[in-house]
Amino acid sequence: MLQPDRETRAEWTKTVTAFVDEFVEGLEAAPASTPGPAVMPPSPAETPGELADLLAQFGEAARQAVETAGPRFLAYFPTGGLYSSALAELLAQVTNRYTGVASTAPALVALEHSVIRWFCTEFGLPEGSGGVFTTGASLATLSAVHTAREHHGVAREGVVYVTAHTHHCVAKAARITGFPPERVRVVPGLRMDVGQARAMIAADRRAGLKPFLVVGTAGATSTGIVDPLDDIAALAEAEDLWFHVDGAYGGAFQLTARGREALRGVDRADSIAWDPHKSLFLPYGTGVLLVRDEARLRAAHVADGDYLQDFDHGTGVPNYSDLGPELTREFRGLRVWLPLHLHGVAAFRAALDEKLDLAAEVRTALDGIDGLEVLPSELSVVVFRCADDETSERLLTAINDSRRFFLSSTRLDGRYALRLCVLSHRTHREHVTEFVELVRRLSAAPAR
């Protein structure tokens, strides 16, 4: 039967809770990675299975992975996945409310929208701003590029301006929305060279093209470096371009004093994409798009059908289906609303400040190790390398093979570099101290 009775629900919940408790308690000692094969399980049986057996199968599959929930995952952008957010998701999925059209659950949409409005305030966006929760910054960026294209009325002749360090989701969004690859211009510089961008825009106009979108990055994936957002905003205003900020990683640092200083000019953006599942420590699948003018977002996405005629569109809160490509969507906002209210915003500000402090300590410590070069980086990303690419690759392999930590790599100026990001809410000083000592020991070991 598909509707279990109260006794069965209690038994299932107890079994799952025990699994969750054991998992969370084991994260401190868990390996940073456990390689395993992709073994296909059998197809579902016609007869009921046992939850304990199925959980054991799931647990083994989950164990054979990079431990993204643990304190020693320093690759890419760590996300611990707050327990409070997981509880919120349980509540949202059990109540199973539809929030694509506000009139089906207006009070819940108002709850979700209150978080969007608070984000707009934190980013300094004006009255009339708004946004929508998405599955991630990639989808948010797609909606932003589409909105910019619609607002400026451009087609294949439109031109987008990025840097070599702009996330590839921007070029992907441009391709999906109809722009050929050659319409995405790469402006030189580790940070965007605004003078070069201005010259490229002028050249494109002379060639009969239509520049319409410039993208500034608030925390590049490789380095954490922030583009000169204020200068890019001034350029966008002077050239009548849509100014989009990719804050997928760095956006939440706006909650801190140092972050606001680094992100100066973000309040002038037409749109901002960022991922609470990165720097707000929430589970994967939690992105957000904020826009300076919600009416423009709505104009670019609104659609209707006869089957929607029974809905009340005068609730006073947005129909999220009018602000993005999804008509069907779950109640996505509770996973953000509950942690912010349960823990209090100050706890998030303090955690983000801790990550900035820890990254600064790692930079200083690595800079003191013979044979290592610490490269330019910002926020909570640290990039370093050895004297040559081969030695750098060997060091990364040795670090990851230790299974105590998991790092990633990148390339800067064509050379191989190791990259780490301190971001999980479970990563603290004792973990980065252990990491530095591991690097010191491995760097001193003779090559084999």
Domain spans of the chain, in order of start: 91-343, 345-444
Bigger pLDDT: 331 vs 79 = 331
pLDDT of 295 strictly over 90: yes
- What is residue 448's predicted lDDT score, i.e. its pLDDT? 58
- What is residue 205's predicted lDDT score, i.e. its pLDDT? 98
Q: Residue 191, SS3?
A: coil
Query: What's the order of all strands across the beta sheet hosting 408-412?
Result: 373-375, 381-385, 415-421, 408-412
Q: Are strands 373-375 and 287-291 parallel, antiparallel or unpaired?
A: unpaired
232 vs 191: CA distance, rounded Å? 11
431 vs 102: CA distance, rounded Å? 45
In this structure, is the dihedral angle defined by the CA atoms of residues 112, 113, 114 and 118, taken in order, positive or negative?
positive
Q: Taking a C-beta distance cutoff of 8 angstroms, is the pair 214, 234 a contact?
A: no
Q: Could you tell me what percent of the chain has a pLDDT over 90?
A: 91
Section 27-44 average pLDDT: 89
DSSP 33: B
Q: Taking a C-beta distance cutoff of 8 angstroms, is the pair 103, 116 a contact?
A: no
216 vs 89: CA distance, rounded Å? 32
329 vs 379: CA distance, rounded Å? 33
Section 168-178 average pLDDT: 96
Q: List, for residues 412-427, the tens digit of each pLDDT value.
A: 999 999 999 999 999 9
**Measured distance between the N- and C-terminal CA atoms of the chain, rounded to whole angstroms:** 61
Section 225-248 average pLDDT: 98
- What is residue 6's predicted lDDT score, i.e. its pLDDT? 96
pTM for this one? Answer: 0.95
Q: Could you tell me what percent of the chain has a pLDDT over 70?
A: 99
Alpha helices in 6-129 (DSSP H): 6-26, 51-63, 83-95, 106-122
146 vs 160: CA distance, rounded Å? 12
Mean pLDDT of the chain: 95
pLDDT of 20 strictly over 80: yes
Residue found under tokens 């998992």: 23
233 vs 265: CA distance, rounded Å? 7
Can you spell out the DSSP letters for 265-293?
A: TGGG-SEEEE-HHHHT-PPSS-EEEEES-
Q: List, for residues 238-274, the tens digit of each pLDDT value.
A: 999 999 999 999 999 999 999 999 999 999 999 999 9
Pick from 68, 58, 66: nearest CA to 33: 66
195 vs 134: CA distance, rounded Å? 34
**What is the token pair recorded at 274?**
């960022």
Q: Are strands 415-421 and 381-385 parallel, antiparallel or unpaired?
A: antiparallel
pLDDT of 94 strictly over 90: yes
Section 269-281 average pLDDT: 96
91-343 under CATH 3.40.30.10, yes or no: no
204 vs 211: CA distance, rounded Å? 7
pLDDT of 308 strictly over 90: no
pLDDT of 312 strictly over 70: no
Cβ neighbors of 58 (< 8 A, separation 6 or more) are none
Work out the pLDDT band at 304, boundaries 50, 70, 90: confident
pLDDT of 290 strictly over 90: yes
Work out the pLDDT band at 309, boundaries 50, 70, 90: confident
Residue type, 357: D
- What is residue 384's predicted lDDT score, i.e. its pLDDT? 98
373 has which bridge partners? 385
Q: Look up the CATH superfamily of 345-444.
A: Aspartate Aminotransferase, domain 1 (3.90.1150.10)
Work out the pLDDT band at 78, boundaries 50, 70, 90: confident
pLDDT of 300 strictly over 80: yes
In this structure, is the dihedral angle defined by the CA atoms of residues 127, 129, 133 and 137, taken in order, positive or negative?
negative
